Chain A
Amino acid sequence: MILHPTVIANLLASCIVSFMVLYASYYGVQILRHWDIRSGDELQLILERKTYLISTLLTFVFGLQLLSLFLYIFTADVLCPLFVGAMCAAGTLNVNEFGYPTLVLKIINFILAGIWLVLNYADNQGYDYPLIKIKYLLLVFIAPFIVLETALASAYFLNMEADVITSCCGSLFSAEETAAGLGSEIAALPARTMLWIFYLAMACSLAAGIYFYLKGKGGYLYALVSLLVFGIALVSIVSFISLYIYELPTHHCPFCIIMEEYDYIGYLLYILLFGAVVAGIGIGALLPFRHVPSLQNVLGGFIRRLALASVVLYAAFTALVTYEIISSNLIM
């Protein structure tokens, strides 16, 4: 293990989130089993009081979960000088077999936590706890993922050995035929084709989003499209966006862009992207409840604001990418 402040911060954050989510899940199960708003039973009164405490707690805990994705990437980036062969977060994550699985889970949990926060916000708008069972059901669903993430993150940080030679991102995300792995396969995609796919996908998503915002139709479609576009955008970062930022024809790394030398542009790109996908999927998560009596008046407006946020964030992402391509010295 490497005793670096960021490693301790990561483990601490993971443990706090896991503990709190488990604690909340315990009451979540109670609520799922015994909740009855019409009852004046003692248990019901306790649960009603508890749910305020728990949902407030979880707002902060899931907020921490959202931040922890960026903390994790930041940590991997900060630690890279300690490992031979690592030049950025990509190499550090490759130090042992737990690095990348942890990252994947962190991304999944980011989206799940985001959806929970959206549901929780909507639930708090109604006077009769309209979504209480839904949000605790989701919490119980999320809990195993959070615990698994903590286990993987612990395994990753505790098994960090400084005397291994790791792979630099130049070989992990190399377009060469000899290189293996998902990173290399994505890097080997034809950049020009990916560029067109990216712009086409973004155009479709923006059109669907604006249509939903104005007409109130096609919400589920936009939620689905926003998830697809999120995937396409991630692939695009490896395939061609990185090339324009680095101005190197062979460097596909999605992690070097978060370094100081590139003005931390990667953090901005990822924040825009993750914000957009959470808002987009949040629409799909809320639409089934728009006719719930106590939410009828408020939910429509909230869903439209989510749609606007998602569209604006995707548009900002596209604009930033376009700026990078135009101002780049690389010509493909």
Chain B
Amino acid sequence: MKKYARSMLRLVLLSLFFIMAPGHGGEPEVTIKKSDRCPVCGMFVYKYPKWVAQIVFQDGTAYFYDGAKDMFKHYFDTAKYTPGKSAQAIKDIYVTDYYEVELIEARSAFYVIGSDVLGPMGHELLPFKDRESAQEFLQDHKGRSILRFQAVTPALIQSLDRRS
């Protein structure tokens, strides 16, 4: 259950995978283990592969999330969910493109909010790799606006946690 050694091994394997992965734009093809949980809500991430987001720290540790919303929560309040770590130590951030279902760079992605598509955690920011697909999605799914990574604020994330 609590196999420290096993998780260390997994970490090593994962980092090996990153090092050895062929450099095509730096987008990793990660396999999610059954034990990987979102550090924000505790949900098992393998159940929702289409919504996976990931933060990789400089020390090689990586965390998965079941949606961009929880990834942002961790990003804005890193020390709360992972004591001893800070947002400055974040190396890479990835989100899953809603149409392509592949991991893309979160900092350069386009996010649609206010649409009628709900994630596992309710209202979500839906990530797209380019403005065209985000625009297309916004029109098809009654989206409200398209945001860039820098425009996302803690207040906005909090407003997504409403129940209706």
Residue positions of A touching B, CB distance < 8 A: 81, 84-85, 87, 164-171, 246-251, 253, 256, 261-263, 327-329
Contacts and interface: CB of A to CB of B under 8 A. Distances in A.
B35 A261 contact: yes
A250 B161 CA distance: 17
B7 to A, nearest CB: 8
A91 to B, nearest CB: 10
A261 B43 CA distance: 11
Contacts of B122: 84-85, 165, 168
Contacts of A171: 41, 161
B24 interface: no
Given A85-B120, A171-B41, 19 more contacts: A84-B118, A84-B120, A84-B122, A85-B121, A85-B163, A87-B121, A165-B118, A165-B164, A167-B163, A170-B43, A246-B42, A248-B37, A248-B42, A248-B81, A249-B80, A249-B83, A261-B35, A261-B44, A263-B1
B41 A168 contact: yes
A327 B43 CA distance: 21
Contacts of A250: 39-40, 80-81
B42 A329 contact: no
B10 to A, nearest CB: 13
A255 B68 CA distance: 24
Nearest to A263: B1
Question: Which of A85, A167, A169, A247 gathers most chain B CB within 10 Å?
Answer: A85
A165 B117 CA distance: 12
Interface string B53-84: 00000000000000000000000000011010
Contacts of A165: 118, 122-123, 162-164
Question: Which of B42, B47, B122, B162 gathers most chain A CB within 10 Å?
Answer: B42
B42 to A, nearest CB: 4
Contacts of B41: 87, 168-171, 251
Nearest to A166: B163
A251 B2 CA distance: 17
A171 B4 CA distance: 28
A222 B149 CA distance: 59
A170 B40 contact: yes
B42 A169 contact: yes
6 contacts: A81-B47, A85-B121, A167-B163, A246-B42, A251-B42, A263-B1
A74 B81 CA distance: 29
Contacts of B7: 329
Contact of A329 (B4, B47, B120): B4
B1 A327 contact: yes
B125 to A, nearest CB: 15
Contacts of A248: 37, 39, 42, 81
Interface string B112-136: 0000001111110000000000000
A327 B3 CA distance: 9
Interface string B2-35: 1010010000000000000000000000000011
Interface string B79-122: 01101000000000000000000000000000000000011111
